[in-house]
Amino acid sequence: MNYTTQMDAAKKGIITREMEVVAKKEKIDVEVLREKIAQGKVVIPANKKHKSLDPEGIGEGLRTKINVNLGISKDCCNVEKELEKVKVALKMKVESIMDLSSYGKTEEFRKKLIDMSPAMIGTVPVYDAIGFYDKELKDITAEEFIKVVEKHAQDGVDFMTIHAGINRETAEVFKRNKRLTNIVSRGGSLLYAWMELNDKENPFYEYFDEVLDICEKYDVTISLGDACRPGSINDATDASQIKELIVLGELTKRAWERNIQVMIEGPGHMPLNEIAANMLLEKKLCHGAPFYVLGPIVTDIAPGYDHITSAIGGAIAAANGADFLCYVTPAEHLRLPTLEDMKEGIIASKIAAHAADIAKNIKGAKEWDCEMSKARQNLDWERMFELAIDPEKARRYRRESMPEHEDSCTMCGKMCSMRNINKVMQGKNINILREDD
């Protein structure tokens, strides 16, 4: 039986190779997975032309996945340096990379990235439009915006952020409801400006059916962008954000009617006490579609440490239903991330995702922690390093401060609780001030 997309196959009762791979990784029954894909509660972003892809699932009942943002800009346009980051990110086993390139040889970087990456690849076509056509924003036509989407799909991109929710109706709500930080989404701000400059409807909303045609042809997952995401905790859960979310829910149904897989993008900056309610709102208004969040960043006062502010928010968000975390680095709001910034962001996001998976009782999550606890109780340092989320750093810290006694560390020495309880429970004496008998 033929099928056009993963969702089309799922609705027809077909088990695809991608479904089999994901079910095995997640340790779940493939029929359960197929049903969730048919319902739109799980997506497997897998462009038919991305030949190096090792598929991953995103959504209800699956491990929380993380995304890494990379790409070149006008101020930092070294393709080889960005590709080096890609190699390190893949070595760190990230499930997704978004190419946010906005200047120069964007096609060259994108194609190399897709060719080499087993991780799923996402893009934001509106970022690429100005450089692709070498035209000012106002002069780009609606048809040209759609053609960039088609170009990215042809290149093999697995999912695309499409800011279709900021239509003229949403824009009017934004104008009537003043914000502290206005529109902070890069793509959202570009489209709002284009609409104002041309007095026209958002092309991605007006020609959404044409976008769906492209996505169906290549099996591209649509990640419905949150142009009105809050850029400060003051603007969280406001009229603009919720109005756009309602539109995204309507667009989700239109995409599902065409068997196009959909994710919903979410906040943004948000106080701790509003996160759980926002996860519920998204799932309700967008009919259970997987939720992809940036952060949320839970306080606005920590530039240089936003990998931490976002990991706090990300853990709470994922524990309450978010399915996909976009990493944030220490460089957020400050500069293009360096290689070290990227690594810090990946680890922080991985910790948040895993902490949430424990809370959601995802298969295998708690077992990993139990294995680490056993190794600690047994003072098995090598096993601890093997199980660590960042083995390299753990080994380095141990190596840089070696204790006098191998069965302890330089924090507690012979007062180590694990060491002493192990000895007592074995019927041995504890000698802290002198050598052991």
**Pair of tokens at residue 246:** 């309602």
Coil, strand, or helix at residue 288?
Answer: coil
Is 405 annotated as belonging to a binding site?
A: no
326 is in an annotated binding site: no
Q: Is 163 annotated as a binding residue?
A: yes
In degrees, to the nearest 5, what angle opens at C-alpha 71 toward C-alphas 225 and 112? Answer: 110
User: Is 50 annotated in some ligand binding site?
Assistant: no
130-160 b/e with 16+ CB inside 10 Å = b? bbbeeeeeeebebeebbbbbbbbbebbbbbb
Q: Which residues of 102-126 are buried (b: 16+ CB within 10 A; e: fewer)?
A: bbbebeebbebbbeebebbbbbbbb
416 assigned binding-site residue: yes
* Residue 269 marked ligand-binding: yes
- Is residue 235 part of an annotated ligand binding site? no
Going 274 to 275 to 279 to 285, the CA torsion angle's sign is positive
Does 229 appear as a known binding residue? yes
Among 224, 203, 189, CA closest to 145:
203
Annotation-wise, does 215 bind a ligand?
no
Please check if 286 is assigned to a binding site. no
Would you say 307 is a known binding-site residue? Answer: no
**333 known ligand binder:** yes
**Residue 60 annotated in ligand binding:** no
Any binding-site annotation on 305?
Answer: no
| 3-state SS class at 407 | coil
Please indicate if the annotation marks 133 as binding a ligand. Answer: no
* Separation between Cα atoms, residue 98 and residue 111, nearest integer Å: 13
| Helix residue spans in 207-264 (DSSP H) | 208-218, 239-257
Q: Which amino acid is at 308?
A: I
- The reply to whether 370 sits in an annotated binding site is no
List the one residue out of 410, 422, 412 whose CA is nearest residue 380: 422
Q: In this structure, which amino acid lies at residue 241?
A: Q
Binding residue positions for substrate: 69, 98, 127, 163, 185-187, 226-229, 265, 292
Binding residue positions for [4Fe-4S] cluster: 409, 412, 416
Binding residue positions: 69, 98, 127, 163, 185-187, 226-229, 265, 269, 292, 333, 409, 412, 416
Binding residue positions for Zn(2+): 269, 333
